[in-house]
Amino acid sequence: MSQRSATAKPVLSVQNLQTSFYTDKEVIRAVDGVSFDIYRGETVGIVGESGSGKSVTARSIMGLVKSPGRIEGGRIEFEGDDLTEKSEKQWRKIRGNGISMVFQDPLTSLNPVYTVGNQIKEALRLHQNLRGKKATGEAVELLEAVGIPDARRRLREYPHEFSGGMRQRAVIAMALACDPEVLICDEPTTALDVTIQAQILELLDELKEERDLGIMFITHDMGVIAEVADRVNVMYAGEMVESAPVEELFQNPRHPYTQGLLKSIPGRAGPGERLSTIEGDVPTPNEEPTYCRFAPRCPKEFEDCNAVHPEPVSVTADANDHTAACLLYPEDVSTAEAVETHKRGDSK
């Protein structure tokens, strides 16, 4: 578990990010006012069901949102610079040298007609201006760093000659070729079987420590989040609904959505109990949030939930590191007082 100093500054700070997609019929507010920080040496988990806005958040940070989508508001500060003010060219440079991304399916990142070595060396040429023997030496070191044995020989192999786990290791090596400060991993282990998944999670943890990386780890799997994250942000319908250090979140989940997600982890139900599920689907966030988007699925819903938009608030007056966007919080005041706080919008 990472310990950050009180004076540390985040390497990446996302503030009130808004990314929308425009179709003929509607505007989909895929990311709607999301804020979070990532520090060096820390893994921040972003968890939620499909359609919650996790991947669009990642693509927004990478500057990879394509038409009909666009970033409409907020700031993405990387080492103090606001990326949303950068030109496409400047952003591309930062994307290459400061922030790298590992996708779910390694085959989408690897070109089948080039050897793994050629692809890593190309990344080293582009981002570190290394060529020839220097590039080969560095490529060998990178493959060794991600745990690929007999690295010099394997550089000459093609992606199809690697197993699924080895391919994902090679993609991580390519991402490291840019010598990034921040690594964004979008469901990087979903396509792998559980033993290989555990190995990749362990590898990411080692790389975080050794290279002092800030890692943003996206998944729908709470079990994976428990393994990998120092801090967890829970997303629902484009919004961040709960945020806390990982142990606190698992021991004291406050938002009814997080409570539902945790109850639905296989193995958590008692003997003879049915596995719990959250009925219904994530709604498409296609209108201003003037109410709680989780209300139609929430077992604790009450009248105000359909008329007041919950803002992220500290769950208790003295909890400065645990927030929930739910009208039931802060829990040390009456619900009526809590609702008033959310109405005024002065709760952040």
The reply to whether 261 sits near ligand SF4 by the rule CB under 6 A is no
Name which of 80 and 299 has its Cβ closer to ligand SF4: 299
Concatenating the DSSP letter of every residue in 170-228 gives HHHHHHHTT--SEEEEESTTTTS-HHHHHHHHHHHHHHHHHHT-EEEEEES-HHHHHHH
Q: Of 62, 298, 313, 319, which one interacts with ligand SF4 (CB under 6 A)?
A: 298
Question: With CB under 6 A, what is the number of residues at the site for ligand SF4?
Answer: 13
Name which of 188 and 260 has its Cβ closer to ligand SF4: 260
What are the strands of the beta sheet with 214-219, ordered from one edge?
99-102, 182-186, 214-219, 42-47, 231-236, 239-245, 323-324, 313-314
Distances in whole angstroms, Cα of residue 138 to Cα of each of 35, 110, 204, 284: 36, 18, 19, 45
Strand duo 313-314 + 323-324: pairing: antiparallel
Query: Smallest distance, Å, CB 335 to ligand SF4?
Result: 9
Q: Of 175, 326, 330, 347, which one interacts with ligand SF4 (CB under 6 A)?
A: 326
Q: Of 159, 253, 310, 330, which one interacts with ligand SF4 (CB under 6 A)?
A: 310
At 143, give phi and psi (nearest 5°): -65, -40
Q: Of 151, 207, 305, 315, which one interacts with ligand SF4 (CB under 6 A)?
A: 305
Concatenating the DSSP letter of every residue in 3-32 gives ---TT---SEEEEEEEEEEE-SS-EEEEEE
Helical ranges in 48-163 per DSSP H: 54-62, 88-97, 106-109, 116-128, 132-145, 151-154
Given the rule CB under 6 A, which of 89-97, 131-139, 214-222, 298-306 is the region that contacts ligand SF4?
298-306
Given the rule CB under 6 A, which of 23-31, 55-63, 127-135, 322-330 is the region that contacts ligand SF4?
322-330
d(CA 37, CA 279): 31
The reply to whether 238 sits near ligand SF4 by the rule CB under 6 A is no
The reply to whether 331 sits near ligand SF4 by the rule CB under 6 A is no
> Six-digit token pair at 127?
């981002």
The reply to whether 345 sits near ligand SF4 by the rule CB under 6 A is no
Name which of 275 and 307 has its Cβ closer to ligand SF4: 307
Given the rule CB under 6 A, which of 160-168, 202-210, 275-283, 321-329 is the region that contacts ligand SF4?
321-329
Given the rule CB under 6 A, which of 60-68, 94-102, 221-229, 292-300 is the region that contacts ligand SF4?
292-300
Q: Of 328, 330, 341, 347, which one interacts with ligand SF4 (CB under 6 A)?
A: 328
The reply to whether 235 sits near ligand SF4 by the rule CB under 6 A is no
List residues bridging with 102 in a β-sheet.
185
Work out the burial of residue 77: count CB atoms within 10 Å of its CB; fewer than 13 is exposed, 13-18 middle, 19 or more buried.
middle
Binding mask of the shown chain, residues 106 to 145, with x at each position contacting ligand SF4 by CB under 6 A: ----------------------------------------
d(CA 187, CA 189): 6
Q: What is the dihedral of CA 260, 277, 32, 61, to 10 degrees?
A: 90
Name which of 190 and 264 has its Cβ closer to ligand SF4: 264
Name which of 120 and 325 has its Cβ closer to ligand SF4: 325
The footprint of ligand SF4 (CB under 6 A) covers 255-256, 292, 294-295, 298, 300-301, 305, 310, 326-328
